[in-house]
Amino acid sequence: MEGVRGRTMETIKEKKKQTPSTTGLKISGAEAIIHCLLAEGVDLIYGYPGGAIMPVYDELYKFQDKLTHILTRHEQGATHAAQGYARVSGRVGVAIATSGPGATNLVTGLADAQIDSTPMVCITGQVGSHLLGSDAFQETDIVGISTPVTKWNYQITKASEIPTILAKAFYIARSGRPGPVLIDITKDAQFDTFEFSYEKCTGVRSYNPVPKPDISKIEAAAELINCAKKPFIVYGQGVILGQAEKELKTLVEKAGIPAAWTILGLSAMDTDHPLNVGMVGMHGNYGPNVLTNECDLLIAIGMRFDDRVTGSLDTYAKQAKVIHFEIDPAEVNKNVKADVTVLGNAKETLQLLLPKIKENSHEAWHNEFKKKYEIEFNEVIKEELNPTKDGLTMAEVIKEINIASNNSAIIVTDVGQHQMVACRYAKFNQTKSNVTSGGLGTMGFALPAAIGAKMGAMDREVVAIIGDGGYQMTIQELGVIFQHNLAVKIVVLNNDHLGMVRQWQELFFESRYASTVMVNPDFVKIAEGYHIEAKRVSERKDLKTTVQEMMASKKPYFLEVKVEKEDNVFPMIPTGASVSDIRLK
C-alpha cells in the first residue's frame, strides 16, 4: 500500500510532458478522448470505472505517465472533487463515470456546479448505439436527465465526433459564466477508429459568452456612483470568476464605498479590509442587511440577487437606485429591477468604470455600519467568539483555525449551521479561499471538494469544516485521502443533530424535532481505520493546542469537536421576511 500512497501528488506536476502528435493517425475513440483531454491541458481527472466506460479506462492505464486518475469512492464524490479543484485552480474540473447508476450519481454535482457557476466537464459511458432506447443493462437517458442541470450536454454515437464535441465542451464550460457540461459517449464510439485531429474551440455560433460593454451604461453608472450619498456594494463570485479582485478593491477604496459579500463572493477582498463590512443574506451581518434598505445606491457586482440574499423582494432596497454589473443577461431584472445594467466581464467593465469615478470617503455613511456592527458584536459576536458558557461554540473553533493558519487557509464548508458560522467568522487574505455549496446547498459536498481543492492548490492548507450530518453522506472519500496521503485537515463540528433543520424546528415548528437527532458512530475510530491521525476535543482547554497541532501537521488530520447541541446561528432573516427584519436572537 505504501507504494501507492503518497505517489499521486508527487507525480502530477511531472505529467505535463509533451504528448506525441497523433494528428492524421487512425486511433480508437477511447484513445481520442485521452488525447483531447491532454490537448485541453487536463492532467487530473476524478472518476469511477464501469462496463460502458471501460475502453476509456483501458486507455487511461496506458497514459498514466501523462494523466492522473483519482478513483473516488462514489461518483458524486468525483463531481464534488472536480468542483473543488476548479474553484481554487481556475481550471476546468473533469469527472468520468460509467452509464446507468454511474451517470445518475453525477447529477447532484452537476446541479451544484450549474447553480454555482463552476466549470466542469463530465464524461459518461453509454451502452452501444444499437441498444439505445431498448432498456439495456445500465442504460439511462443521462442526456435527458441532465439537461436541466448542465450548461450544455451531448451524446456522441460516432467516434469521429469526439474531437469536435470535446473541444466545444471545454470551451462552453470555461467561457463566459462558467458551468458544467456532460458528454455521453456510446461504447461502440469508444471502440471504433477514425483519423484523429484536434483543434481547440474558440467560438460557437449564436453563443455570446461575454457581452460587449456599453460605454453609455458605464457612464450612467459612474454618474450615479459619483452623486450618491449612501452607496453600497454587494459583490459575488462573478468578481472571482472574472479575476476582478484588484478592480473591486480599487473601486471600493477610490470611491470610499462600503462593500459586503455574498456567500460565494467571500475572499474576493480581504475580510479584514476596513471597507469590507461583512456578509449579506439570511445569516449575514446585521449592518449590511439592515442598511441595504437605507442606502441610496445599491451596486451589485457579479451576484444574482438570490432569495437568501434579498429576503422579501417586495421590500428589498426599494428606496435605492440599483446598478447591476453582470456577465449573464438572464440574471438581469430577474429578481431585482436594475436602473442601470452593465453587461460584461467584471474585470473589463470595472476597468472602464474606474477612470470615471471621483474620489470620496462617505465617512458618515461608514459610521452607520460601525454602529450596527457594535450592536451585533454585543448581542451576538462577543458571546460566540469568547463564550462564557461551558460548551464549545462553532465560532470559537473557526477563530482558532484563523489564528493557527494566519488567515491564509482554504476553507471548504459543507451545508448547515457550521457553513453559516464559517462564512461569518473565517478570515481570508487570499482570493479563491472559500469553497462551499451555495445555491444548491448540497450536504456531503465538503469532504470530496476539499480533496479537489487540495489537489488544485498543493502549496496551501485546506481545511474542511463539516457537520456530523453532511460528513456521513460522503465519509467514504476518506479512502481517497488515505490512498494519496493528502494533507487535508478535516474538522467535524459535532452537535449530534442536523443543526440547521433543528434550529428551524425550534424557531418555526414549536420545537418539534422530527428526525433531526443523530446517533453518530465513533468518528475518531473511523478516521483511524483509514490510517488518518485523529483526535476529539470536548473541552475549551484543549481546543487551541489541538488546532495548532492539526495545522502544523504535514499529513491528513481529523479533528472532531463536540459543540453545543442547541447553539443557534444568529443573526437570521426569517424566510419571506425583509432584510430589515433580521433577528439578533
Q: Is 223 left (phi over 0), alpha (psi -120 to 50) or beta?
A: alpha
Neighbouring CB atoms inside 10 A of 13's CB total 10
Residues 358, 364, 365, 366: what is their CA dihedral angle, to the nearest 10 degrees? Answer: 90
- Establish whether 564 is a catalytic residue: no
Q: Using DSSP bridges, classify how beta strands 434-436 and 462-467 pair: parallel, antiparallel or unpaired.
A: unpaired
Lay out the sheet containing 533-537: strands in order across: 434-436, 410-413, 462-467, 488-494, 557-562, 533-537
Can you tell me the distance from the alpha carbon of 547 to that of 518, in angstroms, rounded to the nearest whole number?
A: 25
Can you tell me the distance from the alpha carbon of 423 to that of 407, in angstroms, rounded to the nearest whole number?
A: 13
Can you tell me the distance from the alpha carbon of 526 to that of 530, in angstroms, rounded to the nearest whole number?
A: 7
Residue spans of beta strands (DSSP E) within 515-569: 533-537, 557-562
- Establish whether 523 is a catalytic residue: no
Grid coordinates given for 3: 507504494
Catalytic residue among 187, 217, 230, 454: 187
Can you tell me the distance from the alpha carbon of 499 to that of 493, in angstroms, rounded to the nearest whole number?
A: 10
Q: Which residue in 308, 375, 278 sits closest to 579, CA to CA?
A: 308
Can you tell me the distance from the alpha carbon of 41 to that of 34, in angstroms, rounded to the nearest whole number?
A: 11
Backbone angles phi and psi of 449, in degrees to 5: -65, -35
Can you tell me the distance from the alpha carbon of 234 to that of 158, in angstroms, rounded to the nearest whole number?
A: 47
- The residues, ordered by sequence, that sit 6+ positions from 464 with a Cβ below 8 Å of its Cβ are 412, 413, 414, 446, 447, 449, 450, 488, 489, 490, 491
Catalytic residue among 13, 14, 64, 137: 137
3-state secondary structure of 181: strand
Can you tell me the distance from the alpha carbon of 341 to that of 221, in angstroms, rounded to the nearest whole number?
A: 8
Residues shown for the chain: 585
**Are 267 and 240 contacting, i.e. CB atoms less than 8 angstroms apart?**
yes
User: What is the 3-state secondary structure of 109-175?
Assistant: HHHHHHHCCCCEEEEEEECCHHHCCCCCCCCCCHHHHHHHHCCEEEEECCHHHHHHHHHHHHHHHHC
- Establish whether 476 is a catalytic residue: no
Catalytic residue among 279, 282, 394, 500: 500
Grid coordinates given for 254: 477610490
Can you tell me the distance from the alpha carbon of 451 to that of 464, in angstroms, rounded to the nearest whole number?
A: 9
Please list the residues that pair with 285 across neighbouring strands: none
Residue spans of beta strands (DSSP E) within 396-448: 410-413, 434-436
User: In Å, how far are 204, 310, 311, 502 from 575, measured between CA atoms?
Assistant: 41, 10, 7, 15
- Establish whether 500 is a catalytic residue: yes
Neighbouring CB atoms inside 10 A of 374's CB total 13
Catalytic residue among 138, 243, 351, 548: 138
Q: Using DSSP bridges, classify how beta strands 276-279 and 259-261 pair: parallel, antiparallel or unpaired.
A: parallel
- Establish whether 551 is a catalytic residue: no
Active site residues: 75, 137-138, 187, 500
